[in-house]
């Protein structure tokens, strides 16, 4: 599959996903989920197991195939499952998606990455990893931030 074809496919998936999300939003609005906390809690109570699984799967997919803006799905997790469980489901989905994406990129290499990002973006970030001193500082900063938030 060429890079141009894969970009087209990602654009089509983005449009289809947007249409599905709009239709789901209309359906949920008609059920009163967005206007009543009681109705939202009742709706989610019926989906105690499958709801979190589907949401986590959506998070994994949105990391591997960026068809949904990340901010929308992050907010959805907090709204639907509350701040604690929303954070947990978001975190698990994003971590699993990142791990999957790492292994896909590691296995398929540069051609796979170029299916997801432009050559310009790829080169921009490869410059960071090529300059070992900059990369070491960036990595150290990330670790410090991670330790600070723990």
Angle between helix 50-64 and 70-108 (nearest 10): 60
User: Residue 131, Cβ neighbours under 10 Å: how many?
Assistant: 12
The answer to whether residues 110 and 145 belong to one domain is no
Give 64-79 pLDDT, tens digit per residue. 877 677 787 888 888 8
| pTM of this structure | 0.64
Work out how many domains the chain is built from and give that number: 2
The answer to whether residues 25 and 83 belong to one domain is yes
The answer to whether residues 15 and 81 belong to one domain is yes
Task: For residue 126, give the 3-state DSSP assignment.
Answer: helix
Which is higher by pLDDT, 31 or 148? 31
The answer to whether residues 76 and 107 belong to one domain is yes
Give 118-138 pLDDT, tens digit per residue. 889 888 888 877 777 777 887
The answer to whether residues 149 and 123 belong to one domain is yes
Distance CA 59, CA 86 (A): 11
């Amino acid at each position: 599959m060429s890079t141009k074809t894969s970009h087209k496919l990602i654009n089509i998936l983005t449009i289809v996903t947007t249409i599905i999300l709009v239709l789901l939003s209309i359906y949920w609005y008609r059920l009163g989920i967005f206007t009543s906390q009681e109705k939202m809690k009742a709706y989610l109570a019926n989906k105690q197991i499958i709801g979190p699984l589907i949401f986590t799967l959506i998070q994994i997919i949105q990391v591997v195939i960026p068809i949904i803006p990340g901010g929308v799905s992050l907010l959805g997790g907090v709204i639907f499952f509350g701040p604690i469980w929303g954070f947990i489901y978001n975190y698990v989905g994003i971590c699993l998606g990142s791990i999957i994406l790492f292994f896909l990129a590691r296995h398929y290499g540069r051609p796979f990455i170029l299916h997801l990002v432009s050559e310009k973006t790829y080169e921009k970030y490869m410059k960071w990893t090529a300059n070992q001193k900059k990369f070491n500082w960036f990595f150290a900063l990330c670790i410090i931030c991670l330790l600070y938030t723990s």
